């Protein structure tokens, strides 16, 4: 619950606290909540800048980087990671939790690029594929990059304990499930299989998020990003199932209603949002 200065003034008028306590108490509460992510202009700029930097080194990588060769990509990624860790340490010592968490996440997101460059350098990666395919194609040979990212993400999250670090870990877990499916299917992965994998991997991620949520209830919100990607993955797989059976459509509606209830129980809006979207979709179908 957010406490405003108006609330404290009202408490003083009700003789619950003295008027002399209002200003120092309000200053204390503001200082305590400074590192909690909020929809403020400063925090939006932190996350926007971080996401631009992360996107530049992940989603928006172009073929121009291939001209550096595997060794060049690896060295540049390592230099960027070292700079990112240095900035993270500086910001951490100044207790600037939000920007420090964004910088640490940037370092984790550099891991697949560095491993890609290393594999190209060693000649163990097929030359027909560029780094930008990592976020588009499902294939077993991305597994080294994903496992390395997961390992680095867990280590850095354990060291710095910033909730935003869970975001690349959640994305990597999703990537791993899809690529493991490709291995199991022998490279012949159909859309039906992808939908089922998305559905069940989303359920597993939601279960992991709930476990993390229960263990860190009185600490930072480490389960937020796991819930986000778990619900998106689960709901996406559920909604993409094709069936002409009216009973199946009704069950889909009931599951979405259940998601709304779970969201209200856990106080997680992502369940409510996607549950409402699914419910409205079914009611629109009727």
Q: Could you report the per-residue pLDDT of 53-66, keeping only the tens digit for each?
A: 888 888 777 667 77
Claim to verify: residue 118 and residue 229 sit in the same structural domain: no
Lowest mean pLDDT segment, chosen from 71-85, 206-220, 246-260: 206-220
Note every long-range contact of 216-223, with CB atoms under 8 Å and residues 24 or more positions apart, other chains counting.
Answer: 220/161, 220/162, 220/163, 221/163, 222/163, 222/166, 223/166
Higher-scoring residue by pLDDT: 13, 148: 148
Instruction: Give the per-residue pLDDT at 106.
Output: 94
Contact criterion met (CB below 8 Å) for 181 and 200:
no
210: burial class by Cβ within 10 Å (0-12, 13-18, 19+)? middle
Q: Say if 267 falls within a structural domain.
A: yes
Whether 245 maps to a domain, the answer reads yes
Confidence of residue 69 (pLDDT cuts 50, 70, 90): confident
Averaged pLDDT score across all residues of the chain: 83
Report d(CA 270, CA 230) in Å as an integer.
10
**How far out from the chain centre does Cα 114 lie?**
20
Give per-residue pLDDT as tens, 156-186. Answer: 999 998 888 999 999 998 888 888 887 777 7
Q: In the chain, pLDDT over 70 holds for what percent of residues?
A: 84
On whether both 106 and 210 belong to a single domain, the answer is no
**Within this chain, do residues 18 and 46 fall inside the same structural domain, yes or no?**
no
Q: Are residue 16 and residue 77 in the same domain, yes or no?
A: no
For the chain, how many structural domains are there in total? Answer: 3
Residues 200, 126 share a domain: no
Per-residue model confidence as pLDDT tens digits over 200-252: 889 999 999 999 988 876 667 888 889 999 999 999 989 888 777 888 889 99
What is the pLDDT averaged over residues 249-273?
92
Residues 26, 44 share a domain: no
Same domain, 43 and 11: no
Please state the rounded mean pLDDT for residues 97-110: 91
- Same-domain pairing of 58 and 156: yes
Residue 180 is assigned to a structural domain of this protein: no
Structural domain for 17, as ranges: 1-33
Q: Are 269 and 263 in contact (CB under 8 A)?
A: yes
């Amino acid at each position: 619950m957010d406490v405003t200065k108006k609330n404290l003034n009202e408490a003083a008028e009700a003789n619950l606290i003295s008027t002399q306590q209002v200003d120092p108490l309000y200053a204390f509460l503001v200082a305590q909540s400074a590192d909690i992510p909020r929809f403020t202009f400063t925090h939006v700029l932190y996350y926007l800048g971080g996401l631009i930097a992360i996107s530049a080194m992940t989603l928006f990588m172009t073929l121009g980087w291939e001209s550096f060769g595997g060794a060049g990509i690896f060295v540049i990624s390592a230099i960027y990671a070292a700079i990112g860790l240095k900035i993270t340490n500086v910001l951490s010592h100044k207790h600037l939790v939000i920007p420090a968490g964004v910088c640490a996440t940037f370092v984790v997101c550099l891991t697949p690029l560095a491993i890609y460059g290393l594999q190209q350098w060693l000649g163990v990666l097929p030359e027909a594929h560029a780094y930008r395919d990592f976020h588009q194609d499902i294939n077993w040979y991305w597994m080294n990059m994903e496992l390395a990212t997961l390992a680095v993400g867990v280590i850095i999250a354990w060291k710095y304990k910033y909730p935003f670090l869970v975001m690349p870990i959640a994305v990597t877990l999703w990537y791993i499930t899809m690529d493991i499916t490709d291995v199991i299917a022998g490279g012949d992965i159909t859309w039906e299989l992808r939908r089922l994998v998305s559905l069940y991997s989303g359920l597993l991620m939601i279960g992991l998020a709930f476990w993390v949520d229960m263990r860190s209830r009185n600490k930072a919100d480490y389960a937020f990003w796991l819930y986000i990607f778990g619900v998106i993955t689960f709901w996406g797989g559920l909604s993409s199932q094709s069936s002409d059976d009216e009973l199946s459509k009704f069950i889909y509606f009931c599951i979405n209603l259940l998601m709304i209830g779970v969201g209200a129980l856990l106080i997680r809006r992502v369940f409510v949002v996607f549950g409402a979207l699914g419910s409205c979709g079914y009611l629109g179908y009727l």
